[in-house]
Amino acid sequence: MMDPGLLLEALSVLSGCNVESTSGPSQLSPQDFINVVALRQFYKQEGLKELDYPSLGTMSLQDQDLYQTPPSLPEVVEEPSLRTTIKINLEDFFHPNFNYDFTNVKDGDKQFLRGNERYVRPCGWNRAAIRVVGHYGEGDGWLGTGTDAWPVSYHGHNMDGSLGIILKHKGNPDERPDFQDAAAACLVADDTQGRGVYSTPDVKTAEKFCKIFSSKVDGKKYKVVLQNRINPKNRIECQRQNVWVVYIPEGRNPAQTRAIVQESLRPYGLLLKAV
């Protein structure tokens, strides 16, 4: 297992909160954690200043102004007083048996599949596995390698609506009535942006939009990315290659928005790369 202090720093950078260790129950499950990460970016994109989340209360989004998008990939610097504190039990949150160090792995022409789609493994990164086995009522098929598995998705935290317009819908458009209007708007407005949460099947694309931080544990700088599985029924391809969006229609309240994210993205790895 990676150094616990380094893992806490990485979780703090992704969530915009002060993540601290506890021997008691975690305030957030892994699914709640990715909900917070995704929703903070989405609501910031929507121009909101605060995010309310069950068990955490109201979180300020103002500290997000201190992050800038690549290519400069600036070091993360935040004012601690603006941050919500989250208590995480690392033994419950991480699953070291499934850790995998891809730092020196080179796949070359090797092909891997997840859910019958190409899986680009995170070569060059060190993965701390997140404990999600048995956490979902329908079983763990979504996490496997078979045809019923969900494809792999990477979340670089600075990925947002500036990445491009919706190109086409995967899944049943009838399940999302507002999709037709959004897609039609894209045909007449070049600057139309898909409203939702962005990710990518390509870790190199995610790396361009990730965060970088200086660790107080070892003095090194690290890039951090989340590795997820994405529900193929809730994913829309964007005009820009290798970009997906989980579309959130206008008019959805916070509970409905949270439910869309929860039904669409499931985390299973925290990726770190020394700069």
pLDDT tens per residue, the chain (275 residues)? 699 999 999 999 999 899 999 999 999 999 999 999 999 989 988 889 999 999 899 998 875 433 333 444 444 444 455 689 999 999 999 999 999 999 999 999 999 999 999 999 999 999 999 999 999 998 999 999 989 999 999 998 777 655 544 444 444 444 444 444 444 344 334 444 578 999 999 999 999 989 999 999 999 999 999 999 999 999 998 877 889 999 999 999 999 999 999 999 999 999 999 99
Number of Cα atoms under 13 Å in the Cβ half of residue 70: 18
Q: Token match 């806490």: residue?
A: 8
CB 211 within 8 A of CB 220: no
Number of domains in the chain: 1
- From the number of C-beta atoms within 10 Å of its C-beta (0-12, 13-18, 19+), residue 265 rates as buried
Per-residue pLDDT at 186: 40
| 199: number of Cβ within 10 Å | 27
Amino acid at 215: S
Strand-pairing partners, residue 57, are 53
Domain that holds residue 59: 4-274
CB 247 within 8 A of CB 179: yes
CA dist., res. 179 & res. 217, Å (int): 46
CB 255 within 8 A of CB 269: no
Cβ contacts of 132 within 8 Å, gap of 6 or more:
30, 31, 95, 143, 266, 267, 268
Strand order in the sheet with 236-238: 166-169, 236-238, 244-247, 196-199
Per-residue pLDDT at 4: 97
CA dist., res. 44 & res. 58, Å (int): 14
Q: How far apart are the first and last CA of the chain?
A: 20
Per-residue pLDDT at 151: 98
Residue 20's nearest CA partner among 41, 4, 37, 1 is 4
Per-residue pLDDT at 24: 97
